[in-house]
Amino acid sequence: MKLLIQFTIIILVAICFTTPAMADIMGNPVIKHKFVKGLKDKKDTEIYRKSGTWKNFHADGGVVVHRKNEYIIVGIVEHPEGGEGLAELVVLVDNLMEKMK
């Protein structure tokens, strides 16, 4: 949480629907960092995502399916520890989305 205060974060959250083609392309992430790392302890959660890093810029975006909630989340951070901040961010957003439904 402390890391989030130091970052420049752009986030977009919206309700969405996944398609089978998108699930095939972006499902089952191999690298367990950023949003995947943040959601690892959340039961009944799937993420279909794409991430990237360039210098101090860390980005992750995807569709999160958690129980009956489906939403899009995109985060971009400029900080050496940005991947950790994205892991923290997705937990906060997922908790908020659970309360909204």
| Contacts of 24-27 spanning 24+ positions with Cβ under 8 A | 26/50, 26/62, 26/63
- Rounded to two decimals, what is the model's pTM? 0.78
DSSP, collapsed to helix, strand or coil, labels residue 64 as strand
- Arithmetic mean of pLDDT over the chain: 81
**What amino acid occupies position 25?**
I
Confidence class of residue 21 from pLDDT cuts 50, 70 and 90?
confident
Is 84 a residue whose pLDDT tops 70?
Answer: yes
Q: For residue 20, report the phi and psi dihedrals to the nearest 5 degrees.
A: -60, -40
Sorted by where each starts, the structural domains of the chain and their CATH numbers stand as 2-100 (3.40.710.10)
